[in-house]
Amino acid sequence: MKRSYGWRGAVAAGALAVLGLGAAPAAADTGWHSVASPFVPGGTLAGVAAMAPGDAWVVGTYYHIGSTVFDHPRPVMQRWTGSGWQGYPLPNGQYDASLDAVAATSRTDAWAAGYTSSAYQIGKNWILHWDGTSWTQVHIAEGDDGAAGTASVDARPGNVWVSFDYHEVFRVSGGSAEKVPLTGPSQEISIARIRVGDGAGTWVAGRHGHWDGQWAYYPDTAQWDGRTWTEHPVNVWPATARATDVLPLGTGDVWAIGQSDDPSGPPFLAHWDGTAWRNVPLPGAGPATLATLAPDGRGGAYASGMTSDVQGAPMILHLDPATGAWSRVDVPQSAGTWNSVLTGLSVAPGGTAMWGVGKSALGTLVMTTG
């Protein structure tokens, strides 16, 4: 089964929207620097889960040397040990499989999601759990396990959610995944990300599409309050935009980023105050794209993506929790960060060490503040 790698694959491949952003002073260097990437021949790193300053999981996809680009995808599951990368065996997925996302609540509790298939089998949704010793497969009920596009996962202790971009959401409990159907207008959202909020419910972000004599689209989010889904369209952006990530920092404190379908269109940033979305001007200098969000462990947040400068370092923005203002972060330029994009960010549970993964002109990219 051939598979669409969704909007994140397009961003990593360089299909990036650009915008001339208003000039703003850059934030002080927060210690972001690149580290050696795992060997991923012909592949990509799609997700990262930080556990400590010197400890993180990365996931993605690579292709066996000698195979064609779309033959035999193999999953990447690597852990940084402080001095190098260590691989781990995976159940039922060493071949014809891909991992899109990973999240961790501790060194003994991590979750990953993607898909697995073979030449003789229709693709299957794939959810994995790390218990501190090994990765095991999470049970998905028959009929709910058909491959449903690019995966996203987020987790808090005892509260684990997984989404697949063709409108599917699962809550994981007790070694199995229970489908939580999107309802009402929310069921038309093609999901880019799922996020678990501290006291703010679970949110999904993506693009709403419905047929009314012709296809109509708009950027959209939805919130799960424990009982039902409530749609919150990002109506301060053009209908041609899609929400690519959402970050609930607390009740009435939710951020979203988005991109336009127009290759020359802008990235977007918006804030939800519990009642309505408000468009927020983007800081920084020069054209850019935004791909992902993550909390910073101090009450603020990071957003990352790419500048259009072919020798530019990744675009990183920081939200100061004291002022509520976003600013551009200085990132050291090096050969390893030329023409690069960070499409995954993560903060260590209970800490402030940040990790990011993406793609550069030289291949895969891993960065950290640890």
What would the CATH number be for the domain defined by 6-368? 2.130.10.10
Q: Provide the residue type at 77 as one letter.
A: M
Hunting for tokens 């929207």 — which residue is that? 17
Residue 59 has pLDDT above 90, yes or no: yes
Query: Per-residue b/e over 152-176, b at no fewer than 16 CB within 10 Å?
Result: bbbbeeeebbbbbbebbbbebeeee
Task: Assess whether pLDDT exceeds 50 at residue 5.
Answer: no
The pLDDT value recorded for residue 83 is 87
Closest CA to 364 of 16, 62, 27: 62
pLDDT band at residue 130 using 50, 70 and 90 as cut-offs: very high
Token duo for residue 247 = 């970050």
Q: Which two tokens stand for residue 2?
A: 């051939």
Contact (CB, 8 A) for 253 and 273: yes
Average pLDDT, integer, range 236-264: 90
> In this structure, what DSSP letter does residue 8 have?
H
> What is the distance between the alpha carbons of residues 47 and 60, in angstroms, rounded to a whole number?
7
d(CA 92, CA 157): 26
Please report the pLDDT score of residue 25 as a whole number.
39
Tokens 């891909």, residue? Answer: 98
* Token duo for residue 174: 């007790």
Locate the domains of the chain by residue range: 6-368
291-307 pLDDT per residue, tens:
999 999 999 999 998 87
Task: Pick the range with the lowest mean pLDDT from 4-8, 43-47, 214-218, 289-293.
Answer: 4-8
Token reading at 72: 């035999």
Q: pLDDT band at 84, cuts 50/70/90? A: very high
Q: Which stretch of 193-197, 257-261, 331-335 has the lowest confidence by average pLDDT?
A: 331-335
Q: What is the mean pLDDT of residues 99-117?
A: 93
Which has the minimum average pLDDT: 3-7, 75-79, 156-160, 271-275?
Answer: 3-7
**Is the confidence at residue 268, as pLDDT, over 50?**
yes
Ranges 6-20, 78-92, 211-225, 329-343: which has the least confidence: 6-20
Q: Has residue 55 got a pLDDT over 70?
A: yes
Please state, in angstroms and rounded to a whole number, the distance separating the CA atoms of residues 65 and 143.
Answer: 34
> How does pLDDT run across 157-183, given as a tens digit for each residue?
999 999 998 889 999 987 899 999 998
CA–CA separation, 107 vs 185, rounded Å?
Answer: 38
Sheet of 326-329, strands arranged across: 26-27, 326-329, 314-319, 301-307, 288-295
Tokens of 30: 């927060």
Tell me how far the alpha carbon of residue 160 is from its chain's centroid.
15
User: Using CA atoms, how far apart are residues 62 and 78, in angstroms rounded to an integer?
Assistant: 12
